[in-house]
Structures are given as structure tokens and as C-alpha cells.
């Protein structure tokens, strides 16, 4: 199986692991994403999977929901299970070399998944933070994202979708370094 598809599957499994551990209060607790609760983060992840599925299945780009919580219909755990099942089906039918229309023009499915993996990867951490527990992200995916994000962290922050990068030291783990590049304090919120 293609390494990029496998990496994306592991990132989704990471979200699944966090959702399984999420305490009931975590859905209404604040997340590190300003103005968003755990439910908003989950809705954003679900909506993102629907956007990626639309691209991979040839439907073309789809705009994100204005309120990500709208993507969670019914119970959060069941809503995620439905989204995960649908995304796994799409991934199973995806040819990584297939060219598809995207917001960035015509690209390969592999490019879409390689670029989009940062969303479920990092938002799994955000979701765990809202739940008051630590999430260990997939090391290989963290490494790939760290290499991709490091040279463009300022551009990420300029979009307004990410906070400005925080300082990180060489002693920090790759996960802590990636989170810092995306404006997240990896030690904030522990033990809540």
C-alpha cells in the first residue's frame, strides 16, 4: 500500500483512539482552537474528511461548513464512526496517482492526502486537550509534517487558521516541535 495513504489511515486511527477515550465533558470543554469546544474540533475533523472524500471521489472541491459543530449529527462518537467508515471506504478505492481537481488545480490523490494529513493528526491532539488528556501522535506522520511545515510556519500563521509559532527547543520531541510550529503549547491543559 502507498506510504501516504497508510500515513493518512494512521492519522485517522489516532483520531479514533482519542474519540474512544473522550470523556463526556470534553465535548463541551474549550479546545486550543479559539472559540471551539471539543465538539467543534470533532465537527471540523468530520467536515474535513467529507471535503477530502469529495476530492478523492472526483466530486471536486467542497467548501467547509461555517459552523463545524453542524457536522456532528447525533452522538459525537457515532458521528465520528460513520465519518471514519466512509473515509476508509474512499481510501480503499483511491488510486494515489489519480489526478483530481482541487482548490490548487489538478493534483494527484497522493498530494491531497500528503497535504491534508496534518488536519486529523494535529486536531486529534486538540481534541485530547479538550478532554484533558495527552495524545501521542503517529511519529512517522509527525516527522513528515514537521519537515513540510517548518519552512512555511509563518505562512500558515498568516492565513489566520493557525496561531503564530511558539518557541521550541532541540530537546523537545518532534511532536512538541510540530505543535509549537502550529502555535500550540504542548504542555498547556494537562491534568485538567
Which sequence spans correspond to the domains of the chain?
3-132
DSSP line for 38-64: HHHHHHHHHHHHHHHHHHHTT----PP
pLDDT mean over 117-123: 96
pLDDT mean over 7-18: 98
Listed ranges 6-15, 164-173, 175-184; the one with the highest mean pLDDT: 6-15
Write down the mean pLDDT value for the chain.
92
What confidence tens digit (pLDDT) does each residue in 86-109 have? 999 999 999 999 999 888 889 999
- Which pLDDT score is estimated for 57? 93
pLDDT mean over 39-62: 95
**Spatial separation of the C-alpha atoms in residues 156 and 183, rounded to whole Å:** 10
Residue 191 pLDDT exceeds 70: no
Q: What is the pTM of this model?
A: 0.93
Residue 45 pLDDT exceeds 90: yes
Residue 176 pLDDT exceeds 80: yes
What confidence tens digit (pLDDT) does each residue in 15-44 have? 999 999 999 999 999 999 999 999 999 999
Nearest alpha carbon to residue 76 among 126, 20, 125: 20
- State the architecture of 3-132 in CATH terms: Up-down Bundle (1.20)
Amino acid at each position: 500500500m502507498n506510504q501516504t495513504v497508510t500515513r493518512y489511515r494512521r492519522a485517522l486511527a489516532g483520531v479514533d483512539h482519542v474519540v474512544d477515550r473522550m470523556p463526556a465533558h470534553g465535548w463541551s470543554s474549550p479546545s486550543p482552537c479559539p472559540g471551539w469546544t471539543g465538539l467543534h474540533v470533532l465537527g471540523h475533523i468530520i467536515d474535513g474528511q467529507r471535503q477530502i472524500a469529495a476530492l478523492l471521489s472526483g466530486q471536486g472541491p467542497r467548501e467547509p461548513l461555517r459552523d463545524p459543530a453542524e457536522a456532528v449529527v447525533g452522538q459525537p462518537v457515532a458521528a465520528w464512526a460513520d465519518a471514519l467508515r466512509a473515509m476508509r471506504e474512499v481510501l480503499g478505492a483511491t488510486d494515489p496517482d489519480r489526478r483530481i481537481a482541487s482548490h490548487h488545480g489538478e493534483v494527484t490523490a497522493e498530494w491531497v492526502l500528503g497535504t491534508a494529513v496534518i488536519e486529523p493528526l494535529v486536531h486529534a491532539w486538540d481534541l485530547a486537550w479538550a478532554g484533558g488528556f495527552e495524545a501521542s501522535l503517529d511519529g512517522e506522520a509527525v516527522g513528515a509534517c514537521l519537515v513540510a511545515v517548518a519552512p512555511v510556519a509563518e505562512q500558515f500563521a498568516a492565513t489566520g487558521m493557525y496561531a503564530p509559532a511558539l518557541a521550541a527547543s532541540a530537546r523537545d520531541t518532534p511532536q512538541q516541535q510540530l505543535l509549537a510550529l502550529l502555535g500550540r503549547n504542548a504542555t498547556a491543559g494537562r491534568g485538567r
